[in-house]
Amino acid sequence: MNDFLSGSYTVIVGDGTFPQHEIPLAYLKNAKRIICCDGSAQNLVLAGMEPDAIVGDMDSLNDELANRFTDRIYLDENQDTNDLTKAVSWCSDMGYKDIVIVGATGKREDHTLGNISLLADYIKSVNVIMVTDTGILRPLLKSSEITSLPGQQISIFSIDPETAVTSNGLRYPLHSTKLSNWWFATLNEALGNSFSLEFNQGRVIVYLKYA
């Protein structure tokens, strides 16, 4: 489905809006394993699938599912991290390094922004993308070439405002541009089948809208 992951991968289902688009649903159906943040297990079951593990503080897992899946619940009561981070950390500890996150946006804007920003931390330990009903979010820690489609809508975000980004292959090029605010490099467009981003330091997140 893209060049971000090779081989088998693990899907983590967040407790946001359950995916409806064919692309995140395809990731779910083709996953090696599915890990649920506790409350998302109900939506997964309603969609006709079962979790291989449920990770979190279990504050939103109903009793029926808690009893049904008692053999695959991994309780983490640490209140310094959210359930998505707990699930990613659990996967990393288990050696599941290729991760697709779905269901992590929607419902509340503060949760959505927080979950997207966390990609820049997760990429330090796992190979991860976030797949939504509108596009794919890919975090980067170094200069990269990214597969695209001609005319595909692209937005670029920097977690670190001092990061200077140069682009090649975008309609509106960046020339050692510091992305001082999240809006600054949005609504760009790929000119061909790939584009590149060059930067020496910092953390960048790229959004690729479905064509």
pLDDT, position 127: 96
Q: Which region among 55-59, 130-134, 177-181 has the lowest average model confidence (pLDDT)?
A: 55-59
pLDDT above 50 (res 42): yes
| 179 vs 145: CA distance, rounded Å | 19
Phi then psi for residue 147, to 5 deg, are -70, 140
Q: What is the pLDDT of residues 58-72, one digit of tens each?
A: 888 888 998 999 999
pLDDT, position 43: 93
pLDDT, position 207: 98
Predicted confidence band at 1 (pLDDT cuts at 50, 70, 90)? very low
Percent of the chain, pLDDT > 70? 97
pLDDT, position 5: 61
pLDDT, position 68: 93
pLDDT, position 57: 83
Q: Evaluate whether 189 touches 211 at the Cβ level (below 8 Å).
A: no
Q: Return the HEC string of the chain.
A: CCCCCCCCCEEEECCCCCCCCHHHHHHHHCCCEEEEEHHHHHHHHHCCCCCCEEEECCCCCCHHHHHHCHHHEEECCCCCCCHHHHHHHHHHHCCCCEEEEECCCCCCHHHHHHHHHHHHHHCCCCEEEEECCCEEEEEECCCEEEECCCCCEEEEEECCCCCEEEEECECCCCCCEECCCCCCEEEEEECCCEEEEECCCCCEEEEEECC
pLDDT higher for 150 or 161? 150
Q: What is the pLDDT of residues 66-125, one digit of tens each?
A: 899 999 999 988 877 899 999 999 999 999 999 999 999 998 999 999 999 999 999 999
Average pLDDT, the chain: 93
pLDDT, position 6: 57
Quick one: tokens of 62?
């109903």
Cα–Cα separations (whole angstroms), residue 53 to 41, 66, 170: 9, 11, 40
Cα–Cα separations (whole angstroms), residue 82 to 12, 89, 104: 13, 11, 12
pLDDT, position 163: 92
Which domains does the chain show, CATH number per domain? 10-133 (3.40.50.10240), 140-209 (2.60.120.320)
pLDDT above 60 (res 185): yes
pLDDT above 70 (res 3): no
